[in-house]
Amino acid sequence: MTIAELVTWIESHPTTIEVSKWVLLFIIAWLSGVFKLIRKYTKKSQLKIIDTASFCFVDDINEFQGHTNVVRVAFLIDVSVINPTNEKIVIESFSLRYLTKRYFKKYSNSLYSSTLPNRPRAEMGSGIKISKVFFTDFNDDSSKLTMDGVIGPKEFQNGYIFFVSTTWGSWNPRVLKKKIKVQVHARLTTGEICKDSFWIRVIKDKEFIEKWIPGIVKQIEHPGSWGHQ
């Protein structure tokens, strides 16, 4: 068909051309909506465990409330929550589960984050590095190091969260190659949940953890810090 013949055909079929135009516009609009929906559900908030900066402090206890083979574990997890969307998100709470010695219902009940007694700190040469934390305020001049969980579009927050568990028997954590597997969940005010899991290294040095976070050993031993449901 030549261009002249095409022009003649279009002029002789105005109704067909008009309908085709609206059908094409409808398809374009539909595809645009589909792509927006895809972007909405693929650009979800993300939680990442920084495994190199996270660890579990394990304290073996001979007896507690008539139980033997008791283990108290403090989980100090460095997490980053990323907001890739165009809207603000707000973290409502963090929770943690760990792999137990049980063969059925392998993971523990959810633990909920507790309050740290001080900011984590580490000597770096002649100075001291103070780490960020979520949700805990201290009487110092470093309020900018406390993350409030309100994350703007295309931004992220990272900091430490703290959990304590006291268990016995098959509810104790399963330790493999000096590591414990944990799952961390962040619940947003929208109801959305983002999560990550990783094998976290185990330490048993009380002096190290007390130097890193002054007052942490006493905090771990206090029942008010045990974040069981």
pLDDT tens-digit profile of 119-140? 999 888 888 899 999 998 888 7
Same domain, 86 and 99: yes
Assess whether 26 and 53 both reside in one domain. Answer: no
Q: According to the model, what pLDDT value does residue 229 have?
A: 46
* 138 neighbors 146 (Cβ within 8 angstroms): yes
Based on the fold, state whether residues 177 and 193 are members of the same structural domain.
yes
pLDDT recorded at residue 7: 46
Name residue, tokens 């095409």: 6
Q: Which residue has the tokens 């219902």?
A: 105
pLDDT value at residue 223:
78
Q: Which two tokens stand for residue 5?
A: 């013949």
Q: In terms of domains, do 176 and 212 share one? A: yes
Residues 59 and 127 in one domain: yes
Residues 94 and 16 in one domain: no
What's at 115, amino acid-wise? Answer: T
Q: Which whole number is the average pLDDT over 31-48?
A: 67
Q: Which domain holds residue 23?
A: 3-42
Q: In whole angstroms, what separates CA 59 from the centre of its chain?
A: 25
Same domain, residue pair 76 and 96? yes
Do 144 and 130 share a structural domain?
Answer: yes
34 lies in the same domain as 101: no
At 53-99, the pLDDT tens digits run 999 999 998 888 888 889 999 999 999 999 999 999 999 999 999 99
Backbone angles phi, psi at 223, to 5 degrees: -55, -25
Q: Answer yes or no: is pLDDT of 160 > 60.
A: yes
Same domain, 91 and 30: no
Q: Are residues 17 and 58 in the same domain?
A: no
- In this structure, are 81 and 188 located in the same domain? yes
In the predicted model, what is the mean pLDDT of residues 32-41?
54
pLDDT of residue 79: 98
What pTM value is reported for the model? Answer: 0.79
| pLDDT tens per residue, range 140-157 | 777 889 999 999 999 999
Q: Which two tokens stand for residue 163?
A: 């959990």
Number of domains in the chain: 2
Per-residue pLDDT, 62: 81
